[in-house]
C-alpha cells in the first residue's frame, strides 16, 4: 500500500473531509451524523443541516474522526471520538458513566479503494489517535462480512485481529467490541 497520512479533522483540515464526503459516491447524504446530536427531527434533516451540525462540532473543537490522505488527497475516513459526543447507544457498555471511552462508529472507503487494506490502516490510526488523546478504551460495533446492513461500522474480524474483545451484541447484527490500553 502507498504511504498514507492520517489527519484528525480540525478547523484547518475540514476541507479534506468536505472533499471526501462531497465526491461522487461519498457519504454527503449523512455527514456521519446518525449517532451524533442533531437538532430536531433526525429523519427530516437535510444534507446541508447534517453538514452544518458536523461542521459546528469541529468549530467547537470537538473531535470527530480522522481522514486518510495519499499525496494530500483524502482517500478515507474513520469516525472516532469520545463516547460522550455520541447520543445513540453503541453497545451494552455504553451505560457506564466514564469519560475515558472513545467510540469508532463509521468507516468510509471509496469503492475503488476497497479490499486494499485501507479500512485496517484507518482502524490502526483511529486506535492510536484515541489513545494518544487520552482514551483508556476504544469501543466499536462491527458486523460479520455477510451482514446486509451496518457494514459502514467495519467487520468483526478486523477488530478481533487487533485485540478487541467482544462484550455483547447490539441488536441482531452488531458485535459490541472493546479494546483497553493497559
Q: How is the chain split into domains, by residue range?
A: 5-180
- pLDDT tens digits for 114-168? 888 999 999 999 999 999 999 999 999 999 999 999 999 999 999 999 999 999 9
Q: Could you tell me the three cell numbers for 24? A: 461522487
Superfamily of domain covering 5-180: Gcn5-related N-acetyltransferase (GNAT) (3.40.630.30)
pTM of the model as a whole: 0.92
Is the backbone of residue 115 left (phi > 0), alpha (psi -120 to 50) or beta?
A: left
pLDDT band for position 181 (cuts 50, 70, 90): confident
Q: What is the distance between the alpha carbons of residues 27 and 110, in angstroms, rounded to a whole number?
A: 10
Percent composition of the chain: helix, strand, coil (DSSP 3-state, to 5): 30, 25, 45
Amino acid at each position: 500500500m502507498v504511504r498514507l497520512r492520517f489527519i484528525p479533522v480540525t478547523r484547518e483540515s475540514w476541507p479534506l473531509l468536505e472533499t471526501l464526503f462531497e465526491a461522487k459516491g461519498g457519504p454527503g447524504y449523512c455527514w456521519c451524523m446518525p449517532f451524533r446530536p442533531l437538532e430536531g427531527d433526525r429523519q427530516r434533516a437535510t444534507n446541508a443541516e447534517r453538514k452544518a451540525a458536523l461542521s459546528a462540532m469541529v468549530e467547537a473543537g470537538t473531535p470527530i474522526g480522522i481522514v486518510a490522505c495519499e499525496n494530500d488527497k483524502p482517500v478515507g475516513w474513520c469516525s472516532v471520538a469520545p463516547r460522550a459526543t455520541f447520543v445513540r447507544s453503541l453497545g451494552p457498555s455504553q451505560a457506564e458513566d466514564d469519560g475515558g471511552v472513545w467510540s469508532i462508529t463509521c468507516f468510509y472507503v471509496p469503492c475503488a479503494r476497497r479490499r486494499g487494506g485501507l479500512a485496517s490502516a484507518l482502524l490502526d490510526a483511529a486506535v492510536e489517535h484515541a489513545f494518544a488523546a487520552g482514551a483508556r478504551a476504544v469501543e466499536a460495533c462491527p458486523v460479520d462480512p455477510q451482514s446486509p446492513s451496518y457494514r459502514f461500522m467495519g467487520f468483526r474480524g478486523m477488530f478481533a485481529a487487533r485485540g478487541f474483545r467482544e462484550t455483547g451484541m447490539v441488536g441482531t447484527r452488531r458485535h459490541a467490541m472493546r479494546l483497553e490500553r493497559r
